[in-house]
Amino acid sequence: MIFISHSTKNEAVAKEIRDELEKKHYKCFLSGDDLEADDDWHDEIWKALKGCHAFLGVVTKEFYESAFCQQELGAALALPNKPRLLILHDATKPPGFAARFQACKRSKLLDTLDTKPRYRMVRV
């Protein structure tokens, strides 16, 4: 499963990316759609982060400004052997420690997931 981290202000973009991935049979977690009413969403997001096979961050100005997105990104960087990929949606650069990793253009997302060995676990 791919955990898609995004600012709620960019939910439409995150849903487009999720739909694109699911058309190619990648299973995704998107908090706005996958959390149920009355869930303890902090716990559910943490479980999804720990259980995902890969982390995908949708980098925007709002992502950079969101404390929750920064915490999700920090968790993905800290969890051992967690493949992570940042998608540049606008001109915003990846924040903090994540800036050392090459980000991906959205147009190359599927090719990256389909061909890079570190994403083998998310392939169908």
Q: Kindly report the number of other CB atoms within 10 A of residue 58's CB atom.
A: 24
Alpha-carbon gap, residue 52 to 79, rounded angstroms? 11
Residue 89's CATH number = 3.40.50.10140
Contact 28, 79 (CB under 8 A): no
Contact 75, 49 (CB under 8 A): yes
Domain that holds residue 92: 2-122
- Domain count within the chain: 1
Q: Is the dihedral of CA 112, 113, 114, 120 positive or negative?
A: positive
Q: What is the pLDDT along the chain (124 residues), one digit of tens a residue?
A: 999 999 999 999 999 999 999 999 999 999 877 666 677 778 888 999 999 999 999 999 999 899 999 999 999 999 998 999 999 888 777 777 777 788 899 999 999 999 999 888 887 6
pLDDT at 51: 93
In 3D, which of 19, 9, 28, 26 has the Cα closest to residue 68? Answer: 9
